[in-house]
């Protein structure tokens, strides 16, 4: 049996566990310094007075960490050709220094490509949990998967 998963192998509801990812203050500040230099992602004092109530990772950083967890789990096993986007995303809870994240990626939709018989789209719903089992982020991402050679 091949250990590579093709489009046909992704039935609805199939879930993949990804992670863990340990979030550090250094990494929060490093990402934010480059891509989201707002005080509540850089400075504890400013963050305390902000809507986030304390230093937290940029939402974009949380997406990036999620992608890393997803890629580490799926690249070795999935005949994938990249993603085309990310449908709605909800940043539910702040991600803080010391949090440990994991992702549950569940297949919520599959669609054979109309124009290309050799590929299909697999839509994953990714739920990112912290160590307290609270959801930090939810987003949907369609991934292009090749069909197995018949």
Partner 1 sequence: MALRGKMIKMKMSDGAEIGVYQVEPKGARRGGLVLIQEIFGVTEHIKETCDKFADEGYEVLGPSLYDREAPGFSVSYSPEDIQKAIKIARTEHPFDLSIKDTQTCIDALKGKGAVFITGFCYGGTVTWAAAGRCEGLAAASGYYGGQIAQMNDLQPKCPTILHFGETDHGIPLSDVEKIRAAHPDVKVYVYEGCGHGFNSDRRTDYNEEAHKLGMKRTLELFRANGG
Partner 2 sequence: MSPQYWEDLQIGARRDLGHYTFTEDEIIRFGRKYDPQPFHVDPEAAKNSIFGGLIASGWHTAAIWMKLAIAERANSKGKSPLLRAGVSPGYEDMRWLKPVRPGMTLKFSSEICGKVELRSRPEMGIVLSRNEARDEKGALVFHFTGKGFVQRRPKA
Nearer to partner 1, 33 or 54 (CB): 54
d(CA 114, CA 26): 46
How many amino acids of this chain bind partner 1 (CB under 8 A)? 16
45 binds partner 1 (CB under 8 A): yes
Residue (of 95, 81, 84) closest to 131 by Cα position: 95
Site for partner 1 in 108-147 (CB under 8 A): none
Dist CA 108 CA 36 (whole Å): 31
Q: Site for partner 1 (CB under 8 A): which residue of 1, 51, 75, 149?
A: 51
* 20 interacts with, out of partner 1, partner 2, none, CB within 5 to 8 A per kind: none
Say if CB 146 and CB 82 are below 8 A apart.
no
Contact positions toward partner 2, by CB under 8 A? 31, 34-40, 50-52, 58-60, 63-65, 67-68, 71-72, 75, 80-91, 139
Residues 87-106 that bind partner 1 (CB under 8 A): 96
* Contact between 121 and 140 (Cβ < 8 Å): no
Strand, coil or helix: 81: strand
């Amino acid at each position: 049996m091949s250990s590579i998963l093709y489009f046909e192998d992704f039935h609805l509801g199939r879930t993949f566990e990804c992670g863990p990812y340990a979030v550090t203050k250094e990494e929060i500040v490093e990402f934010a310094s480059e891509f989201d230099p707002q005080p509540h992602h850089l400075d504890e004092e400013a963050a305390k007075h902000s809507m986030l109530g304390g230093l937290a990772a940029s939402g974009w950083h949380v997406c990036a960490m999620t992608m890393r967890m997803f890629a580490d789990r799926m690249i070795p096993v999935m005949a994938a050709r990249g993603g085309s986007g990310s449908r709605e995303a909800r940043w539910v809870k702040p991600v803080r220094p010391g949090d440990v994240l994991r992702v549950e990626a569940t297949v919520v939709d599959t669609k054979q490509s109309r124009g290309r018989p050799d590929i299909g789209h697999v839509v994953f719903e990714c739920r990112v949990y912290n160590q307290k089992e609270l959801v930090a982020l939810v987003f949907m991402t369609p991934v292009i998967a090749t069909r197995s050679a018949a």
